[in-house]
Amino acid sequence: MTDLATPSKVTFAEPPSSPDRRVRRTGTAARRVRSAVTSALKHAGLVLFGFVMLYPLLWMLASSIKPNALIFREPGLIPSDVDLSNYTDGWSALLHPFSRYLINSAIVVLGCVLGNLVSCSLAAYAFARLRFRGRNFWFAIMLMTIMLPIHVIIVPQYVMFSRLEWINTFLPLIVPKLLATDAFFIFLMVQFFRGIPRELDEAARIDGAGHVRIYWQIMMPLALPALATTAIFTFIWAWNDFFSQLIFLTKPDMYTVPIALRTFVDSTGESSWGALFAMSIVSLIPVFLVFLFGQKYLVKGIATTGIK
Amino acid sequence: MSSVIQEVASTRRAASERRKGDGRMAALFLAPWFAGLFLITAGPMAASLYLSFTDYDLLTAPAWVGFDNYVRMFEDPRLLTSLQVTFTYVFVSVPLQLAAALALALVLDKGMRGLALYRSVYYLPSLLGGSVAIAILWRQIFGADGLVNQVLALVGIEGTGWVSHPDHALNTLIILNVWTFGAPMVIFLAGLRQIPRMYYEAASIDGAGPIRQFWSITVPMLTPIVFFNLVLQLINAFQNFTQAFVVSGGNGGPADSTLLYTLYLYRKGFADLDMGYASAMAWFLLLIIGGMTLVNFLASKYWVHYDD
């Protein structure tokens, strides 16, 4: 029992092969073996669990290059017969080639990302650095809008945008982002700006810089991690967004990837899973790439603010 | 010399500005946000409250009907079904999702080898889970000839068409939501890392074993994070839409078994053009989410431990 008092940290921190340790702790060889076995079992369990979790995705990838009939017979990952025609079939299965929907989605996503970066950082600068009457009041209002379900505003928005004849344009999806309605990112940036030492902007002020210059030349470069987090999450959310795109885009010319996929699944039903899977894989690639290269910011973003 | 004068002048200016506050600057920086708040959020919110007391089909002017829509809601059997479906979905999937997140976070803590890799693998479904592509995949794997039944057939069990069976369809959506436990897991991991090491060191010097340490240090220190995740995931789950829409082909079937509240709201507003009713439903949703969050905060006094 007294031996346990040495923190368990030690057993984790050092690899058991350290010779110095072996001399010191010959008496605990049995325990060392046991802990190595436990650790190996734990890793085996975690790997297995991860594999089971990702299996559906891997299987979809494998099935996207199988002939249709095999999708219903082969639960395994290695295709017994490879057929790449799913991708060509899927690409041209709808009214427009799939590239059209990818481009539409890319336009929407780009607009949303730029909109959020500019508008949210401007608002965040005001909340973090400027003094003005009612600041706390407006800040509280801003926080409250984060949790507002979109359903409470979607009907009048639809009415408004249809009066403006914006239905079947990308404006209803992009303009709100230009107006900082994703308050979540304002909050994220306010938190980040508050962490930047005030001495930096004080110094700039003494050198005669105004707020616009401090915002642009000091805060923005220093806030790159927060901007990256914002860009990445906006990208993923806008790319995956279905609800508002379903409502505002009804003409096939303007379909984005999610809407196109949904039309695809409804029109072909269960008959062409291979092509459906192929296009689903295509639709996941951008998110997957962002995930691969932006992991650091993703993890930091969720850890500090709790976004999905 | 002149630069000294300039400097003095500008510091003076800065000082006097500081005394006055930065009202005009703030107005400039907040202009997009204010525009968004009034035009995209608050204005439509007020309009939807008004519309909820009217009969409105988008084509003719709204006609005032008082509380009719709200009264109709409680006589509408489909609405009551959708509430029941939504509550089942939320209150089954969120606890399971959080339990999985917490369990994995506890296993992954302790600075084990490969932590970053495991974290990424488990987190990936959170990014993809809301997409149409994954909903399509779910529709296949839980279909009559889907992956799940193929695997079951290997062990001699004959499964049913899970998504087309009223008793099981909702469960497939619950599984999908649990599958996205990665995001709360990352938050748990961050929370675990914030527990000061010295607590554990002090406890082990006092002779507390790992189990005692878990219940007396880890659990209480983690309750604020559990609370945070709970509030967040409940609010999110109430608003889920895409998966139910795609898996059920847009109608919440079979036999309304996946008719989530948001899906019914969408059908009322944008398929039946009963926009007054849809607005009333939206306000009722806001009431449910707000009330639930309030109850959560009140109850937190009894189980959330704040270290101060």
pLDDT over threshold 90, residue A6:
no
Q: Which residues of A touch B58 (CB under 8 A)?
A: 159, 162
- By Cβ distance, the residue of A59, A133, A149 closest to B289 is A149
- Secondary structure (3-state) at B32: helix
- Look up the ipTM and state it: 0.88
CB contact under 8 A, A53 and B179: yes
Q: What architecture (CATH level 2) is domain B70-303?
A: Orthogonal Bundle (1.10)
Beta carbons of A159 and B275 less than 8 Å apart: yes
Distance spanning both ends of chain A, measured CA to CA? 43
Pairwise CB contact (< 8 Å): B136 & A295: no
Per-residue confidence band for A12, with pLDDT thresholds at 50, 70 and 90: very low
Domain boundaries, chain A: 1-56, 90-305
- Distance, in Å, from the CA atom of B117 to the CA atom of B129, rounded to the nearest integer, reads 19
Across the interface, of A152, A242, A281, the residue whose CB is closest to B132 is: A242
Q: Which residues of chain A make contact with B229, given a CB cutoff of 8 A?
A: 306
Confirm or reject contact between B291 and chain A (CB < 8 A).
Answer: no
Q: ∠A277-A280-A284 over CA atoms, to 5°? A: 140
* Of the candidates B36, B66, B99, the residue with the CA atom closest to the CA atom of residue A120: B36
- B287 shares contact with chain A (CB less than 8 Å): no
Query: pLDDT tens across A175-192, in order?
Result: 999 999 999 999 999 999
Measure the CA–CA gap between A21 and B296, rounded to whole angstroms. Answer: 50
For the stretch A51-75, pLDDT in tens is 999 999 999 999 999 888 888 888 8
Chain A contact probe: residue of B132, B178, B211 with most A CBs at under 10 A: B132
Element (H, E) at B54: strand B54-55
Q: Angle of helix A98-129 relative to helix A183-194, nearest 10 degrees?
A: 50
> Would you call B190 an interface residue with chain A, using a CB distance cutoff of 8 Å?
yes
Q: Does the pLDDT at position A32 exceed 90?
A: no
Per CB-CB distance under 8 Å, the chain B contacts of A307 are 183
Which tokens go with A176?
């709100």
pLDDT band at A304 (very low <50, low <70, confident <90, very high): low
Of A145, A215, A307, Cβ closest to residue B41 = A145
- Does the pLDDT of residue A22 top 90, yes or no? no
Look at residues A100, A60, A58 and name the one whose alpha carbon lies nearest to residue A278.
A60
Nearest CA of chain A to the CA of B294: how many Å? 13
Kindly state whether A293 is in contact with chain B, defined as any CB-CB distance less than 8 angstroms. no
Do residue B36 and residue A179 have CB atoms under 8 angstroms apart? yes
Residues of chain B with pLDDT under 50: 1-2
> Residue A17: its pLDDT value, please?
42
Q: What is the residue extent of each domain of chain B?
A: 70-303
Say which DSSP state B304 is in: -
- DSSP tag of B61: P
Who among B40, B113, B190 is closest to A179 (CB)? B40
Structure tokens at B202: 């002090």
Choose among B29, B127, B140: nearest Cβ to A126: B29
Does A132 sit within 8 Å of B11, measured CB to CB?
no
Give me the residue label for tokens 């500019």: A118
Q: Please report residues of B whose CB lies closer than 8 A to that of A117.
A: none
Contacts of B47 (CB under 8 A, 6+ apart): A155, A156, A159
Chain B contact for A52, CB < 8 A? no
* Distance in angstroms (rounded) separating the CA atoms of residues B261 and B279: 13
* Signed CA dihedral, A43, A44, A50, A54: sign only: positive
Per-residue burial over B59-86, b if 16 or more Cβ lie within 10 Å, else e, is eeebeebeebbbeebeebeebebbbebb
Contact by Cβ (8 Å): A303, B187: yes
Specify whether the CB–CB gap between A226 and A189 falls below 8 A. Answer: yes
Alpha carbon of B157: minimum distance to chain A alpha carbons (Å): 15
Inter-chain CB proximity A149 and B229 less than 8 Å: no
Question: B89 — phi, psi (to 5°)?
Answer: -60, -50
Task: State whether A262 and B125 contact (CB < 8 Å).
Answer: no
C-alpha atoms less than 13 angstroms from C-alpha of A94 in its C-beta half-sphere: 28
Interchain pair A155, B150: CB under 8 A: no
Give the residue on B whose Cα is nearest the Cα of A211. Answer: B25
Q: Look at A176 and B283 and tell me if their CB atoms are within 8 Å.
A: no
CA angle B73/B77/B82 to nearest 5° reads: 80
CATH 3.30.300.10 fits A90-305, yes or no: no
In the prediction, which pLDDT does B46 show?
97
pLDDT, residue A269, reads: 64
Quick one: pLDDT at residue A81?
Answer: 85
Q: Which of A9-18, A24-33, B211-220, B288-297 has the lowest mean pLDDT?
A: A9-18
Residue A137 sits at the chain B interface (C-beta within 8 Å): no
Kindly state whether B48 is in contact with chain A, defined as any CB-CB distance less than 8 angstroms: yes
Q: How much is the pLDDT for A39?
A: 86
Check CB contact under 8 Å for B10 and A205.
Answer: yes
**DSSP assignment of B106-117:** HHHTTT-TTHHH
Chain A residues whose CB is inside 8 A of the B181 CB are: none
Scored b (16 or more CB within 10 A) or e, A71-90 reads bbebbeeebeeebeebbebb
CB spacing of B137 vs A56 below 8 angstroms: yes
Give the span between the Cα atoms of B243 and B176, in whole angstroms. Answer: 8
pLDDT, average across residues A224-228: 92
Say whether A283 and B187 touch across the interface (CB within 8 A): no
Q: What is the mean pLDDT of residues A88-104?
A: 94
B269 vs A205: CB contact, 8 Å cut-off? Answer: no
CA dihedral over A273, A276, A281, A287, signed as positive or negative: negative
